[in-house]
Structure 1
Amino acid sequence: MSTKPPDESDDGSSTKDSDKKRRNTRQVGFRLTKEEKRLVADACIALGGGDDPDAKISAAQLFTTAGIEEAASLGFTTSSLDSRKPKFPPGVWKNRPERSYSSLHRAEEKETLTITIHPLHRGPIALAADHVEVKLPTFLWGSLMAFLARRKAAEPSNTLLQQLDLPSQYRQPR
């Protein structure tokens, strides 16, 4: 028989209602054009097994995977958050997106997308974004576009993936 109070689990973590409201993730918001938001949705379908409901990929999973991969390529990983040993000088990043921000400020063309990133993944992604001197959403967008370019090159038989119309700077794998 357990002697723990009813608001504690066996591992010592609290289950109080006030503690249930805390989340172990952080949100990141994006302003996207309608075309960019459609591209993200299409990429989720292309990489998630098409219409197979058991293989669906969310936008959060897609952005997180791309961000972690890009952060690792810059020298930032979940097991090594040492920001003193990056692989490239500060501000240098070949996948910096060339986006037209004027269109993102026009209300009729703006869409929003909010994703959540687990803290273990957010750490290296945020460090990498800081290192290349871009905001976190910009880093995640550039990472996603480069990731999709690499996946398109690696999977020529995936017709849904091949149909994605990436921005011109990402049409070749980076």
Structure 2
Amino acid sequence: MRILGIDPGYGIVGYGVVEKLGNKITYVGHGAITTEKGEHFEDRLDYIYSQVNEIIEKYNPELVAVESLYFYKNVKTAIYVGEARGVILLAIKHSNIPFVEFTPHQVKLTVTGYGRAEKTQIQKVMKILLKLDEIPKPDDAADALAIAWCAAVSGSDYSSQKKNTK
């Protein structure tokens, strides 16, 4: 099963792809969608939407795992991330691929065994688990790989999950 993990944002959206065959999880790819601060926000959302569609088309995942929103100190940032997450979920729905959500705490706990792990810990563990030559960059892509890993090891049978309908 090919799994696409997405770490939502509006400045940077991280993505990571893993393949699970039996109990073996292997690295497929990772990267980031970036938008410029000076662009109109609706143009940034449109770009994120189109790029998520391209990533889905390129990697052809059978499942998408998305990090759920968590508490933000800055309400404006939380709203922007929520809006970006909305267009990401819309792209997934239009692709008719099942998706799951994980909290940051669930991802950290699954990957490192500690729910309050630092970003650097996540990066180092993903490098080891996926047998990468270097730490995945940017941080958002490492987080996305961790989200995909979390879905891969969660033990749920997503093959029977109902797909989104258009």
Smaller-chain TM-score range? under 0.3
Q: What is the TM-score when the length of structure 1 is the normalising length?
A: 0.27
Q: TM-score, normalised by structure 2?
A: 0.28
* Greater per-residue strand proportion: 2
Higher Cα Rg, which structure: 1
